[in-house]
């Protein structure tokens, strides 16, 4: 999580890419956490939903968010406060009896 700024620094490039290719956004930008390891390395995807994807370019890919149930917290503010948001999400999931897959 200490390296989260690497993703944050690329947000304008990631979020601007669909518009620069004439593709309309279909929703709000998101971060998808594939894995979260607060003390180690996490796998995080930044994206923006689109109606049709522009071709992949460099290390920016086009993907599909699979159907399923998702925890969708909203965080406003500096990324250094994400630790608290993730902790609250995990606490909420535990209270609901949910397990991460």
| pLDDT score, position 97 | 93
Q: What are phi and psi of 57, to 5 degrees?
A: -150, 120
Contact 53, 36 (CB under 8 A): no
Distance CA 23, CA 9 (A): 22
Distance CA 64, CA 86 (A): 23
Strands (E) located in 24-69: 30-35, 43-47
Q: What is the pLDDT along the chain (101 residues), one digit of tens a residue?
A: 667 777 778 888 888 888 888 888 888 888 888 887 767 788 888 888 888 877 788 888 888 878 888 788 888 887 777 778 888 888 999 999 998 77
Could you tell me how many residues make up the chain? Answer: 101
| pLDDT score, position 2 | 66
């Amino acid at each position: 999580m200490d390296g989260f700024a690497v993703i944050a620094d690329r947000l304008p490039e990631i979020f601007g890419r669909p518009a620069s290719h004439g593709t309309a956004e279909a929703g709000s930008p998101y971060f998808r956490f594939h894995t979260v390891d607060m003390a180690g390395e996490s796998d995080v995807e930044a994206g923006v939903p689109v109606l049709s994807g522009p071709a992949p370019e460099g290390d920016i890919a086009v993907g599909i968010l699979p159907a399923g149930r998702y925890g969708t917290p909203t965080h406003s503010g500096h990324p250094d406060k994400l630790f608290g948001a993730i902790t609250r999400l995990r606490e909420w999931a535990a209270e609901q009896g949910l397990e991460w897959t």
